[in-house]
Amino acid sequence: MNKKLIAVAIAGAFAGASPAVMAGAMNVGVSGYIDGIFTLQNEAADDSTVDASGSTANGAQQKFSMDGELDFTASQGNVMTRVDLDVNNTDGTFDSGEIEQAYAAWMANDALTVKLGQMNSGIGFEEEDTPNIYSVTHGQLYDIINGQTELRGNNVNGVVLAFNAGPAAINVGLLDELGRNAEANSFLLQASGSPMDGLNLEASFVTQEDYDAAFNPTSVGNVFDINGTFGMDNWFVGADIMDGADDGDGLMDNAYGIFGNMDFGAFSAFLRYDTVTYNDVGSTSVDDTTSTTLAGTWSANDNLDMLVEFRSDDNGTDTFNSVLLEAVATLGDFN
């Protein structure tokens, strides 16, 4: 499910509830996933460490990483609650556990749902969770939002009013400032819809405190993103464009990505090209970064996908290639 269409998704869940649920019975659900990645090649990590004999070596290649998620939902009457718990293992031991989402959603009426808590922002084309993306790694535009929010991924914390405006879904949010700056808030405005068969569009605008070299050195200022896809049953193509308002030294100025996916049944292929333009550092020009990603997915079962990804990243000076193998197994009706 596309988490961007917050109002439509939650309203649909309530609409499909049984009379007993709406009358007060509790409906509880559990879902999740396990994600395992084997790094076959990662040239960016060449000579990053030494091996058992003291020779320079690549510390990332031929290594496994694992992460997973358990999602708990409960609905009663016109209120739904959700908690997503994430766990990560990148070096052979348990690294961390954290709450990805924790929110309550109140369906005030057919046209308005109020969400309160920590939630996926839905900014940009790519969603946060591994089963909901078409490659092993996220693209550069997702990484920009990840770098602006203090929370992991594209998550935000606050209150969002989700309006079901017929053919469009409109979200208005008052949030903690993306970088959690003191005495400041961020404002979120999103609109998404399908103006014609096969065409899906979304626009997002989120404010944050301006760039300041001493006190707010990572902020790109207000962020505007527009993305869309066009396709039929077994294919789609799309584009994502992002712009930052502030001209902070070396920070993102604007970015765009183009992508497409073809589904052959049990096998699908995905191609993505991203480029990010940066502000200069004084009189020193900063090169664009580009990445080209080709991923193939084999659905071994309804709840098990196998992926292989070939990716090439270019920072304007050097090119680094990587090859990743991944297995993603879902639990329950994951969305």
Q: What is the CATH number of the domain that holds 203?
A: 2.40.160.10
State how far the Cα of 43 lies from the Cα of 104, in Å rounded to an integer.
Answer: 43
Residue 153, pLDDT > 90, answer no
Could you tell me how far CA 174 lies from the centroid of its own chain?
Answer: 20
46 belongs to a structural domain:
yes
Question: Is 1 domain-assigned?
Answer: no
Q: Is residue 312 part of a domain?
A: yes
- pLDDT score, position 7: 41
Q: How many domains does the chain divide into?
A: 1
Nearest to 257 by CA among 138, 166, 102, 147: 138
277 has a pLDDT exceeding 60: yes
Residue 234 sits in which domain range? 6-331
Q: Tell which wins on pLDDT, 226 or 59.
A: 226
The answer to the question of residue 78 being in a domain is yes
Cα separation, 332 vs 316, in Å, equals 44
Whole-angstrom distance, CA of residue 270 vs CA of residue 266: 14
Residue with tokens 């404002």: 187
**Does residue 19 belong to any structural domain of this protein?**
yes
Instruction: Please give the Cα distance from 289 to 252 (Å, whole number).
Output: 10
Distance CA 218, CA 148 (A): 7
Instruction: List pLDDT tens digits, range 94-151.
Output: 667 899 999 999 999 999 999 999 999 999 999 999 999 999 999 999 999 999 999 9
CA atoms of 172 and 195, how far apart (whole Å): 21
Residue 16 lies in a domain: yes
pTM: 0.89
Q: Give CA–CA dist 274/272, Å, rounded.
A: 7
Answer whether residue 14 shows pLDDT above 50. no
Interval 297-311: pLDDT, tens: 999 999 999 999 999
Q: What is the mean pLDDT of the chain?
A: 91
Has residue 66 been placed in a domain? yes
- Phi, psi for residue 322 in degrees, rounded to 5: -145, 150
Per-residue model confidence (pLDDT) at position 208: 97
Report residue 101 as tokens.
């989402």
- Which amino acid appears at position 282 of this protein? G
pLDDT surpasses 80 at 93: no
Amino acid 335: pLDDT: 86
**Burial call 258-280: b when 16+ CB within 10 Å, e when fewer:** ebbbebeeeebebbbbbbbebbe
Backbone angles phi and psi of 142, in degrees to 5: -60, -40
Q: Please say if the pLDDT value at position 61 is more than 80.
A: yes
Tell me what percent of the residues of the chain surpass a pLDDT of 90: 83
